[in-house]
A and B are shown apart, each in its own frame.
Chain A
Amino acid sequence: MTCSSTSTDCLLELYEEKLELEDYQSGVPRWCTGCGDNAILTAIQRLCRDENLRPEKTVFVSGIGCSSRFPHYMKTYGFHGIHGRALPVAEGVRLARPDLTVFVNTGDGDCCSIGAAHWIHAIRYNMNLTVFLHDNQIYGLTKKQASPTSPIGTKSNTTPRGSYLEALNPLTVTLGIANASFVAQAVDWIPESLYDIVKAAHHHKGLSFVRILQRCPEWLPKLHESDMQEPDSVQLLHHENSLQISPSLARIYKNQLRHDPLDMNRAREIASSTDVVPVGILYQNRDIPCYEDIRKLDILRTNETVRKGFEAELDKYAV
């Protein structure tokens, strides 16, 4: 069997080889001023530029929600899916087009509520996807209903007297699922560490799950106010096998913790912290196989084989 080669950038002195941030921008985001989604968009656009991801080889998949509007603002391929189904759609893209780099943007409602079942299985399948959970702890788009990650007591349109249940912790949940291979937490208000985490997630082979604490100034303006004013409430994780903290960041964020990303027990402990907001990579295991590698198909998926398969299926219904 032969292989098909993609282009390489060499030999020619090419013009416009390098894309700028604006080259990845499409349209003007409709998010509210001050919305944390803007910061996430910038970090991801920086990643695309710095890694020189070709727009035609990159796809962003999302569900429904404010955060799920993300693909509209990227000048790449995109799939604005249906509520809760970002992950299965992304898995399909991954299987059919392994040559693409696939990102997923999903909200706390989208992922942890209606999409929870898909979330659990996607973690277990560990396909090579980079997943960003934009966790604003509320349903933003539908104008303020409590979500599974809303802190207990959150007053919303569905819980006017305050929510009754303890919030679900997406980090501990993910760490509890078999085959979790990359789990990190970021906050939208520290751009440098957000970028570093996004980049590490992109470089990880397997499903990288990044929960991003994202501010929604429209519905929960006070939620992270104290965390932002008190730098010590953020705890930066670092390790020689993981992220390092730059001197400029270290000057502001003095609360730091050395954590080996292979230490699952410690990762679960850190994920459960309530006194500080841990930021960094909680767990990373590069040895967990990807589903697409385990289920290697030896048939080449050409247009021809796809057509034949389709016809065989349809023939079953022929009269």
Chain B
Amino acid sequence: MEADLQAFVAFYLTGKKQPDQLHEIGDLNLRPSLFSGYRDLTRLRYDFPLVLVEYPDEGRFVETLSGLIDGILNKVAIGPNGERIRKNVLNLEESIRVRINNGATGLFSKLWDQAAPALAKQDKQMADSLSRARANLKIDGEVVDCTEELTFRLFGHAWSLTQKRRAEKFNENIDRLILKLSDIIQADFINSDAGKSAENLKHSFGSGPLDSFNFEAMSNILKKVSSKKKLAKSRRHRILGLISTLRSQRFFPTESSKVGTATAPYSFAYTTCSGALKAYRDRLPKAIELSRTMAIAELEIKGEYSESRHDALFESFGENGLDAEELAVFPDYLVRLNATTLSGPEQSTLTEILSADLPIKILVQTDDVIEESLIGNNHLAFALRSKQLATMAIGMNGVFVLQSPASYLYQLRQQILRGLDYAGTALFSVYSGASANTASVPPYLVGAAALESRVFPAFSFDPSAGRDWASRFSLAFNTQVENDWPVREIVYQDERYQTVAQATPFTLIDFVTLDTRYCKHFARVPRACWGDALTPVAQTLASEGRGQIETVPYLTMVDSDNLLHRVIVDEKLIREARRCRVMWNSLQELGGIHNSHAEKLLAREKRAWEDTMRSTVVETPAKAAPAVVSSAAVSVVEQEAERSSDEAYIETPRCSTCNECIQLNKKMFAYDGNKQAYIADITAGSFAQLVEAAENCQVSIIHPGKPRDPNEPGLDELLKRAEAFM
């Protein structure tokens, strides 16, 4: 025993393993025990893969594969064949999952059509189920799984939909302006001598009996009569200029803009911050010009443009750039980059963008959240650079910030849209979970583990949501947000096949086990040496300081057969876990959880309150003890709102599921989720049936109320029978 402890402590302090006593963890392919149920993800129905919906309804730009299939099942898996159809379609879903896992890509409908024939061939009923379901596949789009590419594609998709919406609105506005301005020019022409020429009049006559009309005479008359003022030259010039500027804008694609030509629309998607910033700067004069043009055009259309007043005003338009409202009509820039490319200059451009409040949305994907410290030389301190990026951006105050692992993005889809629509800069920091160091575990699980272990918590900061932290900052996406670490129960069978449940926190240390670079910080303890020398990691983490080392912290892990193993960890990791917890705690404070200021205030108020209470208790004489309560005493009886006796109802919680009323009229009476009866449709039956049900109900809980149809035959007698159930 002593010998064991010595070997363990030596490992704990120095990381050195005695080969006969401690084993490597790599050889058994161990995983955190919480992963035991998730060997083969294709067999589980969860929120991945995703479908990037092609023509989404309001905000639903992404759906889950299972969600779409459930939607189809809700329509087709009904009636006597419902159960069969459900099973068959779920088989197909699994087969699609397997295909995607093996690398298949494409539209949901395409993957369906590829997977279905193989299943349908085997059995006729399957073919029937699948074809019925296929006819209801109405929502389609590219399928993406939680891979390295997910984040770029998901954001690209959401962003392009946002841009499309803006383009529609913008083009509508531009078309309207061009039309109205052209009308002014056209009206002036009609008024001119050229417009009134016989030739032009004939032209505008259209088809018809041209010969029977004397256009010359008409022209002469018109020229004499009208004397409307001509359009001033300068105004005409201005309006033509406006039209030409509006027509040649390149911010949004129009029907005539062609890619690859000089009038091609600008691109707004970038892979570097510097690229986006340069484009923004280069195009700013154009944007200002277009913005000014639109403002002048509005005035012209209303006939309110006055040269003496407005010329000077518009001369200086945009000297200080454009304000948020003016910018809001233009497309936003999207920068999608990988954290590895955030080198010195690029990093400072990023900071510049964030601090300048430019309409640029930046997505930074990180593939490694526990990179080795740059200090090197066995110095273990995870460089949590990517994590700091988001917190730094929050510090800028005007930036929309969202941090999340890729695996959780679907849950945050509404926040993603808010960020993309935000008028200003947005930073999205996403951890992909896909890296060579964690290759043996699917990125989905790695991401989920990063979230769960507080290594990469999810949060959002939305400056448009209000002025205080409580409205702007949310940490609520994390599990058990009140705790330092989420605590889950692992349930296992011991040597005697007895079920044992053990509360186990999931910490940074569990997350680190997934990464092959850090194997050396773990050592597997053979079963024979499990003893008092080991304490669960959670206990070690909870106790601060070091003191005498009497036990060494261990972690429970599972091998590929889901057998439990104990793995001890070294002190460096314990230190890192504590550091991670400190960071989480400060996030918690921002999120108003265990806020230290608030807690201090609360303690002070509580003390004051207790003091006052003590002094009042002394003053008032003790009340007489309540009389001995009879054995039939009960807790407080709440009063139920009185029901009108006119209305028919069932005291549902008292229903004993005896089927009497249901058998009498299945439409009128139905069971709720607890299989207890209620009146589902009072119009589906007669008063006579209500009375009969009340009489049949053995627990007498059906109350027929008053008849709804005064002409129902035999009412007098029925009312008499119903009296007993009022």
- Residues of A in contact with B (beta carbons under 8 Å apart): 1-16, 20-21, 33-36, 38-39, 41-42, 45-46, 97-99, 188-192, 215, 217, 228-229, 244-245, 247-248, 250-252, 254-258, 292, 296-298, 300-301
Contact = CB atoms under 8 A, between A and B. Distances in A.
B699 A8 contact: no
A245 B635 contact: yes
Nearest to B65: A15
A8 B497 contact: no
B452 A10 contact: yes
B657 A42 contact: yes
A98 B489 contact: no
A39 B657 contact: yes
A293 to B, nearest CB: 8
B680 interface: no
A257 B631 contact: yes
A229 B701 CA distance: 11
B676 A42 contact: yes
B45 A256 contact: no
B658 interface: yes
A38 B70 contact: no
Contacts of B488: 8, 10
Interface stretch (B34-42, B118-126, B341-349): B34-42
A5 B656 contact: no
A258 B631 contact: yes
Given A5-B490, A6-B492, A11-B448, A256 B633 contact: yes
A8 B499 CA distance: 13
B498 interface: yes
A175 B59 CA distance: 64
Interface stretch (B167-175, B211-219, B265-273, B557-565): B557-565
A2 B46 contact: no
B493 A6 contact: yes
B699 A228 contact: yes
7 contacts: A5-B36, A14-B44, A14-B46, A34-B659, A228-B698, A255-B632, A256-B632
B495 A3 contact: yes
B54 to A, nearest CB: 23
A247 B491 contact: no
Interface in B607-647: 631-638, 640
Nearest to A192: B653
Nearest to A38: B657
B260 interface: no
Contacts of B493: 3-6, 98-99
Given A228-B698, A247-B637, A301-B497, A191 B34 contact: no
Given A21-B675, A97-B497, A191 B655 contact: yes
A242 to B, nearest CB: 14
A15 B489 contact: no
B660 A34 contact: yes
Contact of B638 (A1, A215, A247): A247
B494 to A, nearest CB: 5
Contacts of B561: 4
Contacts of A97: 497
Nearest to A101: B499
A169 to B, nearest CB: 23
A251 B699 CA distance: 16
Contacts of B410: 13
A11 B654 CA distance: 39
A99 B67 CA distance: 33
Given A8-B488, A255-B632, A189 B36 contact: no
A300 B498 CA distance: 11
Contact of A15 (B66, B448, B633, B636): B66
A6 B36 contact: yes
B495 to A, nearest CB: 5
Given A11-B34, A191-B653, A192-B653, A5 B635 contact: no
A45 B491 contact: no
A7 B637 CA distance: 43
Given A45-B675, A247-B638, A33 B657 contact: no
Interface string B500-527: 1000000000000000000000000001
Contacts of A39: 656-658
A99 B448 contact: no
A10 B34 CA distance: 8
A244 B633 CA distance: 12
A188 B497 CA distance: 35
A189 to B, nearest CB: 5
Given A15-B66, A39-B656, A8 B631 contact: no
Given A10-B479, A21-B675, A46-B674, 13 more contacts: A4-B493, A5-B490, A5-B562, A5-B564, A7-B37, A12-B46, A13-B410, A34-B698, A99-B493, A191-B653, A248-B638, A254-B634, A258-B631
A7 B489 CA distance: 10
A192 B657 CA distance: 12
B593 interface: no
Contact of B491 (A8, A21, A255): A8
